[in-house]
Amino acid sequence: MPILAVRHVTTYRYRQPVSFGEHRMMLRPREGHDQQLLAAALTITPEPLDVRWLHDVFGNTVAIARFGRRARELRFESVLRLLHRPVNALDFPIEEYATSYPFSYAVEEMPDLSRTIERHAPDPEHAVDHWARQFLRNEGRLTDTRDLLTSMTHAIRRDFTYVAREEMGVQSPTRTLWLRSGSCRDFAMLMIEAVRALGLAARFVSGYLHVPKREGAPAHLGGGATHAWAQVYLPGAGWVEFDPTNGIVGNRDLIRVAVARDPRQAVPLHGTWIGFPADNLGMTVEVDVTAEPEAPASPATADAPKRQVPADRPVATAAAPQEAGPAAVAAATLPAASPASPLAATEGAP
């Protein structure tokens, strides 16, 4: 099982010392049969008053840092090592009744899946519906479920242009269809809404992308930043990864960190600061994901981060919003009462 190493540094700079509110981090990888955290180190400067951990409604690990001093720079550095077992598209078995579309989920699963089947984005002219249905066979014939989802994934990779947008948030799936371009998070949401239009359960995934050098193969798109893709629930296989940005089916080169029904629930890092608009000098992001030659014989225990995080507690890691660049810092607006009063700016969803 390969070992992947991740180094992620997010730095916010200000013209003069400013105060910081709480900052919420969602970057500890979700462990499971296909990935296991070996070591983690987190350095936050200035040192926070405290960092507390919790699990959100989706089971993601969340770390919340509180600060007690002003500073001209706020820096988060996260270093991870994890075992990662690639699962290919053909390695996941599907229950016989779900191998062809359409199919129905089991009655006992529907209460938990229903919110991930519901459409979340407006589609007044049914553009997403029409686009999704082009992947179905005509004349009422059944469609192979694997072929349906694989074809949709590859179509986005083939027919749309990747753009590393610096604007925050996710553009609507209808706009992505109209522009025929978008970021990884835009492509993920287009596929999620298209799958939901067909009555299947899908959710948003935030994480990292490993960009290996493979002879004769095109390089992955979206490296050097946090990444986003989709999961679709298939009976017998569970939640299966689909990365439409790169045409990946399965988890190859994908490090899963957080899952959510809506991308706003999986923002890697956000918080507040108090100062004047001119104080904000911007943000820089550095992300490196590399592969180590071989895995050790037995997993190591998590290293203690520099901020004295106990090794036996959940290890929090920090990251910037997906594909965020310096322009992704939230715009600050002055209160109407007085142009000289301090402001609170919040870094929102990517």
CATH number, domain of 240, equals 3.10.620.30
How far is it, in rounded angstroms, from Cα 254 to Cα 181?
Answer: 22
Task: Spell out the residues 6+ positions from residue 138 whose beta carbon is closer than 8 angstroms to its own.
Answer: none
The pLDDT of residue 224: 84
Q: Flag residues of the chain having pLDDT under 50.
A: 295, 299-350
Q: Among 252, 283, 314, identify where a domain stops.
A: 252
Residue 261 falls in which region: left (phi positive, over 0), alpha (psi -120 to 50) or beta: alpha
Q: Among 208, 225, 252, identify where a domain stops.
A: 252
Q: Where are the beta strands (DSSP E) in 150-224?
A: 161-162, 181-182, 202-209
Tell whether 260 is covered by a domain. Answer: no
Q: Are residues 97 and 234 in the same domain?
A: yes
Q: Are residues 210 and 326 in the same domain?
A: no
The pLDDT of residue 320: 35
Q: Are residues 245 and 277 in the same domain?
A: no
pTM of the model: 0.83
Tens of pLDDT, residue by residue over 136-175, are 988 678 999 999 999 999 999 999 999 998 788 899 999 9
Tell whether 176 is covered by a domain. Answer: yes
- Residue 75 forms beta bridges with which residues? 11, 45
Q: Are residues 111 and 239 in the same domain?
A: yes
Tell whether 148 is covered by a domain. Answer: yes
238 in helix, strand or coil? strand
Q: Are residues 238 and 98 in the same domain?
A: yes
How far is it, in rounded angstroms, from Cα 156 to Cα 180?
Answer: 9
Q: Which amino acid is at 292?
A: E
Tell whether 158 is covered by a domain. Answer: yes
Q: Of 276, 267, 269, whose CA–CA distance to 19 is shortest?
A: 276
Q: Are residues 28 and 155 in the same domain?
A: no
Number of domains in the chain: 2
The pLDDT of residue 49: 98
The pLDDT of residue 306: 41
Residue 65 CA: distances (Å) to CA of 7, 45, 74, 240, 250: 20, 11, 12, 32, 34
Q: Are residues 52 and 172 in the same domain?
A: no
The pLDDT of residue 319: 34
At which residue do the structure tokens 């004349």 appear? 139
Q: Of 116, 92, 112, 106, whose CA–CA distance to 238 is shortest?
A: 92
Domain coverage including residue 93: 89-252
The pLDDT of residue 314: 38
